[in-house]
Structure 1
Amino acid sequence: MDDGPTIQSNGPKRNDTNVKAMPTSYKFRRAGDQDLPMLHHWQSLAHVAKWYGDERLTVEELCDPRIAMWIAEYRGRPFAFVQDYDVHAWPGHHFGFLPAHSRGLDMFIAEVEMIGIGHGSALLESHASTLISEGAPVLGIDPHPDNGAAIRAYEKAHFKLAGGPMETPWGRVVLMTREAIHGPGDGSMDESTRQDHK
């Protein structure tokens, strides 16, 4: 499997006493089977496994046409995993209420030193903006309700709570969405579309 397309996107800009100002470029490249050793290592890290469990990605999953898996690089260094998927490809999926062509997202930052300095929200904002520009009307992401850091980062990327907490085949989640039609700053769902799951 080749690396597939790459996407250049903006990164965070920080200038405080703890974080130096950073260049503003991410590179997204499609994950391939050559990345599995790195991905398996990332998935074994305690801060990743805490939320994603002990499952390991397979070649078959990398080739699944319903899912696009990406390695995110910063300054030429791989540091995070992002995937987007067709929310209507699984019967009964918890984002099945979203309109056609909507995409679901999952992500994690693997490198510990890259956590807590703005990369999470900036990385999600970059990928979300690309998906919206490609025609996705609504995006969904589903962090664990106890993962407050992720929820705050996703809110900074213009996602808003739309439902939950709820149990799913993939674990306990809250639903967060961002709509393309409202533009940056408003990811809220229309009341006729919002799913307030209990």
Structure 2
Amino acid sequence: MELLSKEEIDRLSTEVVSVFMEAEGRKLLSGSEIAVDENPELYVLRSDWEAAQEGRTDLSGLPDDAIGQGDNVFRHADVEGEALVLREVDEITRLIEEGVPEGVIAIIDDSGGTMTAPILPEFEAVLCRAGTVRSHLAIIAREFEVPVLMGCVFKREPRTGERLRVRYSSAAQNPDAYHGGESNAPALIEEVQL
């Protein structure tokens, strides 16, 4: 068995860390200040990251008509549309085959993000329950100019067919917010009373 050279190990290590950071939208967590001091491009203190996350899911200050919030991928006009909750791959496959109804705001789990790529431009907008503004879905959304919120949290579960207004006119989230950097306010998801 041939051993890898130090250069090959370093290259593979860098590649693995890069893939992790892109997929997770954050740096590696460390309990050691020296790791952060020596490699600030790779590490953030676990305690700093956890403190930054606490405020990201606090829904106690939301206005009464807001049912949730999420991180805006890019600034866009506010969108109003009919919610379509997608929890199963079969539902996305059906939309690929049959088409997406007009005016739909899709609400997806993280696993559905990549699956929606072929039909992403057909959605009015997307709300993703997981991920960050560095996630694959966010990158594709910017390319197709489809308004997307990532890491959405809800006071109550959205229902298919209900009318929503999403404040995509909010500032885009700072990518560094996920590991202790300055955070922009999340965009609001509101129920539209008919």
User: When the two structures are superposed, what TM-score results if normalisation uses the length of structure 1?
Assistant: 0.27
Structure number with the higher helix fraction is 2
Larger strand proportion of the pair: 1
Q: TM-score, with normalisation over the residues of structure 2?
A: 0.28
